Structure 1
Amino acid sequence: MMNWLHKLFSNPSSDPLAVELYPILGFCPEKIEFYHQAFCHSSIESPTYGDNERLEFLGDSILDSVIAEYLYHQLPTKDEGVLTDMRSKMVSRRTLNKLAKEFKIETFVHTNLGGKIPSSILGNAFGALIAAIYLDQGDQFCKNFIIEKIIKTHFSLINLEKEISSYKKHFIHWTQKHSNYYCF
């Protein structure tokens, strides 16, 4: 910790965003421009950083991939359907919006919308933050961050498997399993 503080305060060009992100992320961002872009909504015209939409695309893909691999290794007896359902719950828009609130993303996001920032924008910024971490720290660091700071901290695989993501899908699966006829 002391090395990081010394490095931070001995560098006169340190960005305040790096200082604010450290307690939340647990590391000091090096390529801070990615984090500025991650928190810049498309309603803001920023010639310096641009908006976060491309980062969101990359971050969502990274989350999807890391979570899929994690589930594959952690649940070796589960079939593809169960793994897909669990992954979809973990990367759903609702879940990303919730994670954004838990990571206090609203304190960093810049919009030109006025008023309270919609949770969907915060969830999008969370995906962009994952891409910023990936581009800044590399793929293995980002993978470890997702596993340790997101999956292991915010999810219970046992509870996640029990959670019904779609009652209609659950009903159809049940009727097919029990050879019953259904009509909508």
Structure 2
Amino acid sequence: MSPMEILAAGLSALGVWLTARRKLLCWPVSLLAALLYGVVFFDARLYADMALQAVFAAFLLYGWWHWARNGRRAEGAVSIVTPSRLHLSAAVLAGLLGGLAWGCVLATWTDDPVPFMDAALSSASIVAQFWMARRYRLCWAAWIVIDGLYVGLFCTRGLYLTALLYGLFVGLAWDGWRRWHSRLWR
């Protein structure tokens, strides 16, 4: 594990912890972590995950802007939104199609050792990150599944600290789910 992976892991954990608590500071902390992880994943030849960090950076900027502009409550935390079933269905379909297309590209033009898994998890992560930026509680359930699968992927690439981090993310996502659920009714 490199010093960059250690720093990226620490900042990522802090960013998710802050997000579960609906703190605006989660966005710049997570942005720095995404930029560092872009380099880590490039070095590990996980190209979809490397590109995902650039997409995350864009969504992190959007989420930062959206949370700062919309839905702040008096105590400073951000309000939670319930999406329509149509929106959820469209997002899941887009994630599936995006993962399939991205997987084909990676399998054809890169030396990614697991192109379809890399692409599927990256595509699902984009959907979950969009849901996070839009303040949908369901983002936490998506992160529980996605992060659990990422643990296995990162172990196969020797990124054991990152695998441990993503195991921690599963617990943090469960905490986010629980915290955001209790806030829905207040």
| Fold similarity call, TM over 0.5 | no
* Structure with the largest fraction of helix: 2
Give the TM-score normalised by the residue count of structure 2. Answer: 0.29
Find the structure with the greater CA-based Rg.
1
Give the TM-score normalised by the residue count of structure 1. Answer: 0.30
